Amino acid sequence: MEADARMRETPTQTPERATVRDADDATLIAAVRSGPTQALAELYARHAAAVFTAALRLLGSREDAEDVLQDVFVGSPDALARYEERGAFGAWIRRVAVRASLMALRRRRSKRHEPLAAAGDIAASPPEPERAIAALPDPLRVVFVLREVEGYSHAEIAELLGSTRTASELRLHRAWKLVRRSV
């Protein structure tokens, strides 16, 4: 009888958790805006991989990408208050991750700190094209990833970076040149 009572006290899936998993992003956003719920955890489960991948490609460091992922989702309840629900939430949160990654790159440049490659990283090195992209200087890698991987237009990249469309196009051309030489 004690076991039956304990099973009733600790259900494996609460009704709130089941409802949260079935909700669409707009419903989850409304729930996060109204106060603490499981909704933020579900948004994280749905979008963390895309945020992490975008940050990793831009920063070239797992540690820095994990920091961006944490920053994006820790700050997301406040950011969601400003979210205007134009377009898909997934695209919006990736754009937030891109901006956070660019800020991390600026901080890294100001510290003049380059992370050392761990011995384990050499054994499990990425395929040639990915290694060539990761080896690009930050300004070229950022434009390359934003244009060729994330699909941003040169106008959008220029806006994100505070530069011109021509500068974006030139950096992409230089990046491709270096990637082709490396592969």
Q: How far is it, in rounded angstroms, from Cα 104 to Cα 101?
A: 5
State the pLDDT at residue 91.
87
pLDDT-derived band of residue 112, with 50, 70 and 90 as boundaries? low
pLDDT-derived band of residue 125, with 50, 70 and 90 as boundaries? low
- Looking at the chain, the whole-number percentage of residues with pLDDT higher than 70 is 78
Q: Does residue 101 sit in helix, strand or coil?
A: helix
State the pLDDT at residue 182.
83
Structure tokens at 118: 């761990």
pLDDT in tens, 17-48: 445 566 788 888 888 888 767 888 888 999 99
Identity of residue 173: H
pLDDT in tens, 139-151: 999 999 999 988 8
Alpha-carbon dihedral sign for residues 21, 27, 31, 32: positive
Residue ranges of domains in the chain, CATH in brackets: 10-115 (1.10.1740.10), 124-183 (1.10.10.10)
Of 73-77, 113-117, 150-154, 160-164, the range with the lowest mean pLDDT is 113-117
